[in-house]
Structure 1
Amino acid sequence: MQNVQSLSLFDEADIGNNSDELKTSLNTISLFSGAGGLDLGLIQAGFNIVFANDILKPAIENYRFNIGEIHEGDITKLDIDSLPNADVVVGGFPCQPFSNAGNRLGTEDDRGNLYLEVLKVIDAKHPKVVVMENVRGLLSMKNKDGSKLIDTIVYLLENTGPGYQVNYQLLKSSDYGVPQNRFRVIIVAIRKDLEIEYQFPEPLPYQYDKLTVGEAIKDVDNLPNQEEVWELSPQSKKIVKFIPEGGSWKNVPYDELPDRMKRIRDNMKRYHSPNFYRRFARHEINGTITAAATPENSGILHPTEDRRYSVREIARIQSFPDSYIFVGDSIASKYKIIGNAVPPKLAEVIGQSIVEQLKKAGY
């Protein structure tokens, strides 16, 4: 299929009030909405969010300020019958249980079963389209009986309500205009009676120089949230001053490492050669921005200054537009909700591909 075109990165579009020509009939229920990265991208693709829900107060505060109304509450206690009818149900259910950076408890963690709450809404509303998102660890996570969780999700979607034709794919965000090598599993399910076998969009024309760290964080000095920087711990401050642009903890003199890292350095093979404290260079594409924003395990260090990226800089790397202003008293919470978000540009490309294929089929 044809490459899907994307809006320019960091555009200043009116986030919550898209122009009428972009509106479609795709009324959408959004679950686990967070700060709205997925919803924002879908809105740009023409979707109409008719209901959103989350439980995390900082995410809700930012969603309301930037996008629109959102219901605050536990998804397991939603009155599904009171929800509006919808053509689309989307849900980026909690990913920490499946993350390589998390504890990987998977379905033994209560959060690992929350995808079932999305299925309850699907069963009640029979939407045309379902979009689910998670980390790449979802593909390897197993149920207690040894079967793959992803196979269970596919089976349940195929047999929920009217039944769905399900496709899923591991996508690299930088292939779709996001300045970050962030991998995410996207599941798209189309109601079987529509007789559409969804095809994922091909990568956009690759412009490496437009996705680099240097390009992503340029011209940010006078933007909202640029002055908000989460201070490093004393240990991190001591370590990062030895790390050059493009380097990592491997550049730190052995005597300057904390004892735990000395033990790892002494036996790199045993610990699978970790690359802690990665400082991406301005000519590189950044690694994954995580919710924890720990410099040890994510690419959160500024390329030339001994600090974390600012709130605006990580928002840029996650492809949030500059018109999205992060509010609230806690700087750490802003890092968390940005790191948890689906990159809006990736969501936009997925949304455009859905609109394109539905229209092609006459819907």
Structure 2
Amino acid sequence: MRSFKALEATGFFEPVFGGDILPEAIETYKSNFADGAAYWGDLRRLNPSYIEPVDAAWLSPACTKFSLLAGSGGDSAGGYLEGMGMIYANLVLASQAKIVMIEEVIPYFSSRSYHHLKVMLKNEFPYWTERITGSGLDAYDFGSPAGRRRGYVVASRTPLDNFAWPEPQIPAHRRPTIEQVIGKEWEDRAPWREISGTVMEGLLNKSGNNNFRSDKNYTLVKPKDVRLAALVASYSKVQVTSSYLSHPDHPYLWRPFTSEEISRILDIPDDFFFPEEIAETKRTYMLGNSVDCRVVKAIGIEAAFHLMMDRLSDRSEPLPARNNRPAPTPARKVEDWLSADRNGQFSFIIGT
């Protein structure tokens, strides 16, 4: 749902349909997009005839089966037991979209599920461009203090000659601090906790020759720092691979980032909001499942440019006059030495 808000913020898109199995996500969608339709439930039960035609589709497949953080609870069969790729493809085809944008954790794109999705769409969407290897696209490169690596794919019915993957590189001296991103009110925004006697004490004392130590994962960060770890869906379960705020003047104090602060870190537009009845833990869960809006907006702008160029190249009639004014008409010739314009004003030719 945050992706829709980011696309809307570009000024080129208007969200008209969203689906999710989480009831809180649907309530949030309905609150932010009052004119859009929403589907709550298993997408396998959604009849494609309910899908209205759209220009663009944004697809974020379920990731828990493929995320490296899912642990043994995921689908270790690599998508062979999931089968959602065909469901996603059927809904995309029903939408009659001209372009499809897909986002997910990088391991997803090696799954059988993604293969099903791609093969089913190939006939209608023969043009594909992918960023699904290595680090994909990392939100940190787009100016976010939080690293968030995701794979992205764009598929189109027409050649993607006018689409280009954004390649930003923020100079180190231009990077915003965490304080600049979350606001200077960080000290009084939420209660602080002591390190001693809390789960944080155990995390900071983790040892061993592995990657699950606090010094490798930005577990505690200060307001003046410019880097923190990814803020995941299970953020409320305090863990070494997530970042938490350390008080710069009282190093024995720490606290989690609030959902408001996480929204700012992910660059979610200011007019996005959660309904009041949604609990803080559920808010951080939904935010942790979303992508950084900086990346979404950058891809969305390129997709909009592609769609607009397609529309211009297919236009068989001249563009309409701006402000609904009639198009200028040539001056009406009366005599060789006398002419009248469209407003009835005469012009004389003086001299020979």
Aligned equivalents of 2:130 and 2:41: distance in 1? 29
Please show how residues 5-24 of structure 1 align to structure 2 within 5 Å.
Answer: none
Alignment of 1:129 onto 2:99 = yes
Alignment partner, residue 120 of structure 1? 90
Letter in structure 2 aligned against 1:54: D
Contact residue 37 and residue 344 of structure 1 kept, 8 A: yes
Please show how residues 1-363 of structure 1 align to structure 2 within 5 Å.
Answer: 36-45=1-10, 46-68=12-34, 69=36, 70-103=38-71, 104-105=74-75, 112-139=82-109, 141-143=110-112, 150=114, 153-159=117-123, 162-169=124-131, 170-191=136-157, 194-197=158-161, 198-203=163-168, 205-206=170-171, 209-220=174-185, 226-227=189-190, 238-240=198-200, 249=204, 252=205, 265=207, 268-269=208-209, 272-276=210-214, 278-281=219-222, 282-293=224-235, 294-304=237-247, 305-327=253-275, 328-361=277-310, 362=312
Letter in structure 1 aligned against 2:44: T
Report the Cα offset of residue 84 of structure 1.
Answer: 0.7
Letter in structure 2 aligned against 1:279: L
User: Secondary structure at the residue paired with 2:179?
Assistant: helix
Alignment partner, residue 332 of structure 2? none
Task: Report how many aligned residue pairs link the two structures.
Answer: 291
Report the Cα offset of residue 306 of structure 1.
Answer: 1.5
Report the Cα offset of residue 335 of structure 1.
Answer: 0.8
User: Secondary structure at the residue paired with 1:288?
Assistant: coil
User: Secondary structure at the residue paired with 1:302?
Assistant: strand
1:267-312, Cα deviation, whole Å (9 max, x unpaired): x23xx33224711343232211100003324323113241111121
Aligned equivalents of 2:176 and 2:120: distance in 1? 37
When residues 329 and 130 of structure 1 are mapped into structure 2, their CA distance, relative to the original with a 3 A threshold, is closer
Report the Cα offset of residue 171 of structure 1.
Answer: 0.3
Contact residue 180 and residue 211 of structure 1 kept, 8 A: no
Contact residue 175 and residue 226 of structure 2 kept, 8 A: no
Report the Cα offset of residue 208 of structure 1.
Answer: 5.5
Where has structure 1 moved over 6 Å in runs of 4 or more? none
Letter in structure 2 aligned against 1:120: N
Aligned equivalents of 1:189 and 1:76: distance in 2? 22
Contact residue 106 and residue 112 of structure 1 kept, 8 A: no
User: Secondary structure at the residue paired with 1:90?
Assistant: strand
When residues 216 and 107 of structure 1 are mapped into structure 2, their CA distance, relative to the original with a 3 A threshold, is farther
When residues 106 and 83 of structure 1 are mapped into structure 2, their CA distance, relative to the original with a 3 A threshold, is farther
When residues 72 and 210 of structure 1 are mapped into structure 2, their CA distance, relative to the original with a 3 A threshold, is same
Aligned equivalents of 1:273 and 1:207: distance in 2? 25
Letter in structure 2 aligned against 1:180: A
Report the Cα offset of residue 115 of structure 1.
Answer: 3.2
Letter in structure 2 aligned against 1:325: F
User: Secondary structure at the residue paired with 1:180?
Assistant: coil
When residues 110 and 241 of structure 1 are mapped into structure 2, their CA distance, relative to the original with a 3 A threshold, is same
1:102-154, Cα deviation, whole Å (9 max, x unpaired): 13425567994323222002233332100111012324x444xxxxx655544
Contact residue 289 and residue 299 of structure 1 kept, 8 A: yes
Larger radius of gyration: 2
Report % sequence identity.
Answer: 19
Report the Cα offset of residue 348 of structure 1.
Answer: 1.0
When residues 187 and 92 of structure 1 are mapped into structure 2, their CA distance, relative to the original with a 3 A threshold, is same
Aligned equivalents of 2:45 and 2:13: distance in 1? 26
Q: Which runs of 5+ in 2 are unaligned?
A: 248-252, 314-352
User: Secondary structure at the residue paired with 1:84?
Assistant: coil
Aligned equivalents of 1:74 and 1:236: distance in 2? 44
Normalising by structure 2, report the TM-score: 0.72
Aligned equivalents of 1:171 and 1:320: distance in 2? 18
Contact residue 287 and residue 298 of structure 1 kept, 8 A: yes
User: Secondary structure at the residue paired with 2:262?
Assistant: helix
Report the Cα offset of residue 47 of structure 1.
Answer: 0.9
Report the Cα offset of residue 221 of structure 1.
Answer: 5.6
Contact residue 93 and residue 121 of structure 2 kept, 8 A: no
Normalising by structure 1, report the TM-score: 0.70
- Alignment root-mean-square deviation, CA: 3.1
Contact residue 175 and residue 203 of structure 1 kept, 8 A: yes
1:318-347, Cα deviation, whole Å (9 max, x unpaired): 212333232324221011011111222221
